[in-house]
C-alpha cells in the first residue's frame, strides 16, 4: 500500500477524519519537536509548541486550502509559534543544547562507525560549537537556517513559511551563513567542518 500524501490526509482531516489527523501527527510530530527544540532551545517548551501547532491545525482544518504543500503550512504555523516563544522568553537562559537532535540517518552516514574516544570528544565539541553558532543567530535567520539545513525546505517554501519574498530568504540565509562562517572560522581552518 502506497503512503498517502499529506494533501490527501489533510483533505480527509478537513472532512472530519480523525484517523488521518493521527497519521499526520505521527508523521510530523518528531520533526516538529526537533525544529522547535533547535529554535527555542528548551525541550519541554518544544514539546508544548509541537502540541500547540497540531492543535491549531486541527482547529483550522475546516478552513484548510491546499494552496501550498502541507509541510509549508505546518512550518509556517510552527515558525510563528517559535518566533513568538523566542520573543516572549528573550530574557530567559536556554537549556544546554542537546546532542541527540543532530544524530540520525544523515549524521551516521558521515561518521566513522568505530570512532576513537578522541574522535568522539572532537565530534561532540564540533557539534556543540556549530549548534551554539546557529542558536546565537537572530530568530529570523535561525529559522531560515533550520528550515533550510535541518528541514530541507527550499527557498520558495521558506519564503511562504516566513511570509517574505524569496529574495528576502536568500538575503537572510546569506547573512546567516556569513555570520556562521565568521564564528566557525577556527573550525574551518582546522578542517573540522
Q: Where are the domains of the chain?
A: 1-95, 101-193
pLDDT at 12: 95
Decide: 9 and 55 in contact? Cβ < 8 Å: no
Average pLDDT estimate for 175-180:
93
| 5-56 pLDDT tens trace | 999 999 999 999 999 999 999 999 999 999 999 999 899 999 999 999 999 9
Dihedral angle sign, alpha carbons of residues 24, 73, 162, 164: positive
Q: What is the largest CA-CA distance in the chain?
A: 56
75 closest CA partner among 54, 104, 103: 54
Structural domain 1-95, CATH architecture:
Orthogonal Bundle (1.10)
Q: Is 101-193 the same fold as 1-95? A: no
Helix and strand element counts for the chain (H, E) = 10, 0
pTM: 0.70
Residue 62, all three cell numbers: 475546516
| Statement: residue 105 has pLDDT above 50 | no
pLDDT at 67: 84
Residue 6, all three cell numbers: 499529506
Residue 75 CA: distances (Å) to CA of 2, 21, 32, 35, 192: 24, 16, 8, 9, 31
Q: Which CATH number fits domain 101-193: 1.10.260.40, 1.10.10.10, 3.20.20.70, 3.40.50.300?
A: 1.10.10.10
Question: What rounded mean pLDDT belongs to the chain?
Answer: 83
Amino acid at each position: 500500500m502506497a503512503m498517502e500524501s499529506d494533501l490527501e490526509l489533510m483533505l480527509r482531516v478537513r472532512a472530519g477524519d480523525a484517523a488521518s489527523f493521527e497519521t499526520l501527527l505521527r508523521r510530523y510530530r518528531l520533526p516538529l519537536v526537533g525544529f522547535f527544540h533547535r529554535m527555542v532551545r528548551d525541550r519541554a517548551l518544544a514539546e508544548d509548541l509541537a502540541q500547540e501547532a497540531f492543535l491549531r491545525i486541527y482547529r483550522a482544518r475546516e478552513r484548510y486550502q491546499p494552496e501550498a504543500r502541507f509541510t509549508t503550512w505546518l512550518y509556517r504555523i510552527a515558525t510563528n509559534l517559535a518566533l513568538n516563544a523566542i520573543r516572549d522568553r528573550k530574557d530567559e537562559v536556554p537549556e544546554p543544547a542537546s546532542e541527540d537532535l543532530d544524530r540520525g540517518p544523515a549524521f551516521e552516514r558521515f561518521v566513522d562507525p568505530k570512532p576513537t574516544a578522541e574522535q568522539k570528544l572532537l565530534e561532540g565539541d564540533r557539534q556543540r560549537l556549530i549548534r551554539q553558532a546557529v542558536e546565537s543567530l537572530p530568530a529570523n535567520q535561525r529559522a531560515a537556517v533550520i528550515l533550510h539545513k535541518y528541514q530541507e525546505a527550499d527557498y520558495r517554501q521558506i519564503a511562504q513559511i516566513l511570509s517574505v519574498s524569496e529574495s528576502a530568504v536568500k538575503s537572510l540565509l546569506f547573512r546567516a551563513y556569513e555570520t556562521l562562517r565568521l564564528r566557525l572560522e577556527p573550525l574551518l581552518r582546522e578542517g573540522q567542518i
